[in-house]
Amino acid sequence: MFASLSAEGPPLKTWLSGAAASIDNLVDRSPDGKIEIVGGCFRYLHDSNWKMFIENLNDAMHPMVVHQSSSGTAKRVFQDLHKETDAVPFELEMLAPFTNDYGFFEKMGLTAWKYGHSVTGGKISIHSAYSPIPGYAEMMVAAYGEERVKQIFAVNRHNTVVYPSFTLKGAITSVRVVKPIAVNKTVIESWVFRQVGAPEELFTRSITYCNLINSHANLVGPDDWEAYHRVQAGLSAQDAGEWISMHRYKGQDHALPDGTTESAGTSDMVFRHEYDTWKNYMLHNGVFP
């Protein structure tokens, strides 16, 4: 559900802009063209401002370093305990890409749209090399035809941020809702969907991903939470610096006539874009020039 308390503003489809394609793709991955919420949600508290979570989602500079303790460890343990010919468990398929090299994240690219929305990836992402689920592609082809299925599966977006309140993943069929409750407290809710008509293994895969990445006992989140905590503490210090640099790739963004902005995968473009959007909301009451 989308709602606005303002009497002014654009229609929903205009406001969503390119982010709407991520919602469509999430639904299109069901052979029946339907999704349903199953079960409850993972709900947890961050002791930091909500902007830190939102900014982190499409930041491709941190994974290689920050996630060494989770993704990096998982890869090293598997290499130590298994042969090269052993099948890679799906849990490792999920964890391993978080510490891909910077070249990979650079190629993913960044795209932003008016009103603050953004996405990492497009043709490739950390989700684009998962093992196929038996029978799933055949079900999709029977429902949509081979050419249409190629188009659906060709969309490999990582995190789509619908600014400022939630993010979604099409390949993992999940959304996370951001709920600020104080200047230094944010509740994150993670919801998982079932693709109606798809093999149950697809839903199990989404649950597994959220257990590993989004739950209270997940492996990857604590890496980020520690960073949020330290940044919050640093910004709250009396002698904190007045400025934070968000200059990476500044001046090299590619702005299109329709309001879309593209940049290299490790650019700070999305941060600059979000703060420009926030300023417009504060100064113009959501009516953008």
Could you report the per-residue pLDDT of 167-182, keeping only the tens digit for each?
999 889 999 999 999 9
Residue pair 252/106 in contact (Cβ under 8 Å)? The answer is: no
Residue 219 has pLDDT above 90, yes or no: no
Global pTM value: 0.91
Map out the domains of the chain with their CATH numbers: 12-236+246-284 (3.90.380.10)
Instruction: Phi first, then psi: give them for residue 45, nearest 5 degrees.
Output: -105, 135
Q: Which backbone phi and psi does 68 adopt, to 5 degrees?
A: -65, -35
What is the mean pLDDT of the segment spanning 197-209?
93
pLDDT over threshold 70, residue 288 = no
Nearest to 55 by CA among 276, 278, 281, 271: 271
Q: Per-residue confidence at 132, pLDDT binned at 50, 70, 90?
A: very high
Nearest 5°: phi and psi at 73?
-65, -45
pLDDT at 84 over 80: no
CB atoms within 10 A of CB 123: 12
Tokens (6 digits) for 51: 């902007």
Longest dimension (CA), the chain: 63
How many angstroms separate the CA atoms of 281 and 115, rounded? 9
| Span 158-169, pLDDT tens digits | 999 999 999 999
Contact (CB, 8 A) for 266 and 248: yes
pLDDT at 26 over 90: yes
Q: Is 289's pLDDT higher than 80?
A: no
